[in-house]
Amino acid sequence: MTTFATLLRATAAAVASIFAVGAASAEPPLMLARNGSFYVGGKMTDIDGRALMDGHMYVEYMIPARKTHPYPIIMVHGGLRTGTNFTGTLDGKEGWAQYFVREGYAVYIVDQVGRGRSPIIEKAYGPARMGDVRGVQKRYAQEEKYKLWPQAHLHRPWPGGGEMDSPWVMQLSASQAVEIENFHTQQELNRDALIALVDKIGPSIILGHSQAGAFLWPVADARPKLIKAILGIEPNGPPVRAVDFIGAPDWFKYGDVALAYGVADVPLTYSPPVKAASELKFVQQEKADGEGLVRCYEQAAPARQLSNLKDIPILVLTSEASYHAPYDHCTVKYLEQAGAKASFIKLADLGIKGDSHVLMMESNSKAIAAVIGKWLATSVSTKQAAK
């Protein structure tokens, strides 16, 4: 019988081998002009007779020694995660933060309010929650086994397998963090902190993964002159109503309203204006746009316009096997109906196949980052910054 000590030694050896691979394929030294951290946002408050900060956000920055792009990239991680998602892959290689620094971008990596190094204060933010790491298997590591959505069978199996004690799964599970339970509260707090960050550092590109996608639109809406591009990496969605994945043959179960303002649950500037979300009227497609896709919700005609987003370049990027594959097109359709211009890149169309939702941490994450970099090079004007 395998003892716990034997299993522990085997797991430790497997994890060590991951980092041996990462070290063997390491890039040349990363040349930085500056590297540090600070906090933005928040206020002093009194809780149970003690003075505390709340609403603040931790920010780490890397400024390249040779900065060739005028606008920094703000990287905002997804649900139950921290900024470490952007600083390393599951097999021990450098992450997207280092990639874009090497490409000449300054990078700012945040820990969301109430997450990681932005401490959670339940008496200020409400209850906290921790995810079940078994969800890692169903949504990322072994989705081809569970087949909860139509594209799940396309997943490329992870090295070492997707079992709970496999090295990649343990790395991803270890990165899970306690978060604010209420999604609306998350959006309010992170919107305000990210606005404070943009006000501090100036014109920026903002990148949000997954849950953080709901923060992108309100921040850009509030600072349309300062946000030079929006990078939605499988951004929170689909618009309006949540979707649960239930497997074949029905695949999708449509839930309650999760994003009352279409792509966010906090107010956005519409034209004609709305005083409350209840003034927005939504309809669902009678027929999906294709096999294996959800039936999108959009505005009832005539659609109000998201006027503050119309001049900002937007990218929505989606992997082949992710649970976002059935619905990220709905986010693009919603934005376009509301007057925004969104590019939709499906990685499979570029020959990058089989990735899960945590695409910035997969073994081919560098190739995916290169796709984003190419889009930025052709979509974001630097003429004004050069003046």
How many helices (DSSP H) and strands (DSSP E) are in the chain? 11, 14
Residue with tokens 């929505």: 316
Each residue of 242-263: pLDDT tens digit?
999 999 999 999 999 999 999 9
* Residue type for position 74: I
In this structure, is the dihedral angle defined by the CA atoms of residues 115, 44, 75 and 267, taken in order, positive or negative? positive
Q: CA–CA distance from 383 to each of 70, 72, 74 (Å)?
A: 10, 15, 20
Cα 56 versus chain centre, distance:
19
For strands 73-76 and 204-210, give the pairing. Answer: parallel
Length of the chain: 387
Residue 385 — very low, low, confident or very high, per pLDDT cuts 50/70/90?
low
Nearest alpha carbon to residue 41 among 188, 211, 149, 167: 188
Q: CA triplet 103, 78, 284: central angle to 5 degrees?
A: 115
Q: Strands, DSSP E only, in the chain?
A: 32-47, 50-64, 73-76, 107-111, 128-129, 179-180, 204-210, 227-235, 241-247, 251-257, 282-284, 297-299, 314-318, 342-346
Share of the chain above pLDDT 90, in %: 88
Tokens at 220, concatenated: 């850009």
- CA-to-CA distance for 122 and 106, rounded, in angstroms? 33
**CB of 151 closer than 8 Å to CB of 322:** yes
Mean pLDDT of the chain: 92
Q: CA triplet 187, 178, 121: central angle to 5 degrees?
A: 70
Nearest alpha carbon to residue 294 among 210, 237, 369, 367: 237
Domains of the chain by range and CATH?
Answer: 27-381 (3.40.50.1820)
pLDDT at 135: 87
Residue 384 — very low, low, confident or very high, per pLDDT cuts 50/70/90?
low
Tokens at 277, concatenated: 């979300």
Each residue of 3-17: pLDDT tens digit?
434 433 443 444 444
Residue 18 — very low, low, confident or very high, per pLDDT cuts 50/70/90?
very low
Concerning whether 210 is annotated as a catalytic residue, the answer is yes
pLDDT at 383: 64
Which residue in 166, 173, 175, 210 is the catalytic one? 210
**CB of 47 closer than 8 Å to CB of 171:** no
Q: 358 by DSSP, 3-state: which?
A: coil
pTM of this structure? 0.92
In this structure, is the dihedral angle defined by the CA atoms of residues 289, 291, 292 and 294, taken in order, positive or negative? positive
Residue with tokens 């005539």: 302
